[in-house]
Structure 1
């Protein structure tokens, strides 16, 4: 079966009385438009998304009257940064930006993928953080940029 578009997201679709199969992906695989995957029930699928569509946790790839196939993102190893002031937030954001590290935000938490150098930087700057495994809703995406 070839999947060319996402039907919706499990959070907004009615899922009563449906059998749900899951495709487990690492977060960076969410950026791939073309890939071959296998559900937790052993069903092989080809994904060939149109345009620049990106997958998200909970996206529904297939749906009929009894079955649904859903993307489930695996947990990432993250640094959860919790600055105590706007100044501290600005300083760490500037430092991470200089390293071209993508970040995501959930409430008051800044999330970056684990990197021992960033961990050392946070300790040096006395910025509160913790390392944890957490599921992200979308992939960490690097933004292309070159210095002239």
Structure 2
């Protein structure tokens, strides 16, 4: 088994240009894991045990033997893409509110907000439609999610450092 302890760089770098390539396929849900095991396209048994947390982005080089590099390839998955106007601040707020309430991981690309479909497209779009987002601005596709960097918004505002008291999601009401 090949054990990988660090990300060496990106396949597009000049130093890797003339190497043969072998790939391991990784979904977005596994891209932030420090440890996992996969089989490469060429059949190599690969154990990933990163020394420090990282993001297994598309094209990340995990091994270089001088003639061949082992790279990460990100799996396409079903996503919802919401296209926002540059001037419609209210729609941007509504999208943020709807997705934030779900603690949905998001990828931002220009004017697009990309969210993985976790159940069905209809259920994923429902919170946006409930906040009056025009259905014409919502579409679905199969692409690698968060292929270049970790998603934003995932659990936003819900990390609790050890020195901060935890809060609860219940409210007290007057009798």
Partner residue of 1:8? 9
Partner residue of 1:143? 155
2:62 is aligned with 1:23: no
Structure exhibiting the larger radius of gyration computed from Cα positions: 2
Partner residue of 1:104? 107
Q: CA RMSD in A?
A: 1.9
User: 5+ residue gaps in structure 1?
Assistant: none
Partner residue of 1:59? 60
How many aligned positions are there? 148
User: 5+ residue gaps in structure 2?
Assistant: 159-165, 169-175
Tell me the TM-score normalized by structure 2: 0.76
Distance 1:57 1:16 in 2: 16
Tell me the TM-score normalized by structure 1: 0.89
| Deviation of 1:113 (Å) | 0.8
Contact 2:37 2:45 (C-alpha < 8 Å) held by counterparts = yes
Distance 1:40 1:88 in 2: 43
Contact 1:28 1:139 (C-alpha < 8 Å) held by counterparts = no
| Deviation of 1:139 (Å) | 4.8
Residue among 111, 124, 127 paired with 1:121: 127
Higher relative contact order (CA 8 A, sep 6+): 1
